[in-house]
Amino acid sequence: MTTMDQATPIPIIDRLHKLAENLQPVKLINTYRGIPITYNAIVIEAERGTATLGINEYQAVCLALEGKTHLQSPHLSEVFRATPVSVDVLTKKTILTEFIGVGRSLGNRLYTRVQPKGPIDVELRLGEHHIPGQLADISLNGIGIFTLETYTYGDLMIKKNSHAYIAFDLPPEGTPVWLAGTVATVLRLPNTTQFRLGLKILPDPEVESVLLEYVASRRDALMREISAIYDRMRQEAMKKG
């Protein structure tokens, strides 16, 4: 096999062409409702600004829904974002274009942060303030919360690294959860009085076991959801001939 020259910058299409020649896979990275969907893809051909890849069926669903993907390989100089021109669920192929380098790491994109199936009410306590909200997503070490517009904030200032307590009930049994954490990110939603908060959860073995069970259950449910979407997409494609 040919050894790729890592010292000299090579255009992404040329690198993908070499991967095709050497039968070396490239990893595609997407997310579906908070869970990372990452499978190896086979580069079939790469030329004139586009690359044709053979892909996993779950990746096909994410490409169709997200309208983008990320490519990662030891033989690429960095991670590249790409846009699908087409996604064929019957042949499990996609044509990608518009390759843009986004750095060597995707940060938190590879961490599982599951979104709940339905609304889960949350009470966030920041100092003297009790703030109602809803769960956006949750992982073993972090939680995302949307604050509610109905709350009158007054002079409330939500600052990074603030200590917080979070209380909510986890389905399906309504298991009460009480977490301590620190505010990691604060994003005010445009044209609203709402915030999207990201909090880092402080370690707690008892809570961790509850979260582990919930996250695993939601991940399994979401994977079944992706499978059902793929089946529907495939059936629709077959009807169109």
Residue 98 main-chain phi, psi, to 5 deg: 55, 60
Specify the amino acid at residue 241: G
What integer pLDDT is reported at residue 191 of this predicted model? 81
Helices (H), 38-154: 57-66
d(CA 41, CA 43): 6
Please report the pLDDT score of residue 240 as a whole number.
85
- Per-residue pLDDT at 192: 78
At residue 150, the pLDDT reads 53
pLDDT of residue 2: 38
Tens digit of pLDDT at every position of the chain (241 positions): 333 333 344 699 999 999 999 999 999 999 999 999 999 999 999 999 999 999 999 999 999 999 999 999 999 999 999 999 999 999 999 999 999 999 988 766 667 889 999 999 999 998 888 889 999 999 988 999 998 765 545 445 678 899 999 999 999 889 999 999 999 998 888 887 788 999 999 989 889 999 999 999 999 999 999 999 999 999 999 998 6
Q: Report the relative pairing of strands 142-147 and 129-138 from DSSP bridges.
A: antiparallel
pLDDT of residue 187: 87
Query: How many angstroms separate the Cα of 202 from the Cα of each of 143, 157, 165, 181?
Result: 11, 22, 10, 5
- What pLDDT is recorded for position 194? 83
Q: Which helix (H) or strand (E) holds 235?
A: helix 205-240
**How far is it, in rounded angstroms, from Cα 235 to Cα 92?**
14
Beta bridge partners of 116: none
Q: Specify the pLDDT at position 148.
A: 78
- Sketch out the chain's domains with CATH numbers: 12-110 (2.40.10.10), 121-220 (2.40.10.220)
| Best CA proximity match to 39, nearest among 79, 69, 84, 67 | 69
Q: Which residues of 37-69 are buried (b: 16+ CB within 10 A; e: fewer)?
A: bbbebbbeebeeebbbbebbbbbbbbbbeeeeb
Q: What is the CA radius of gyration of the chain?
A: 21
Give the model's pLDDT for residue 10.
67
The two three-digit tokens of residue 188, written as one number: 């005010």
Both structure tokens of 170 = 């986890």
Upstream peptide bond of 172 is cis (omega within 30 degrees of 0): yes
Phi, psi (rounded to 5 degrees) for 23: 55, 40
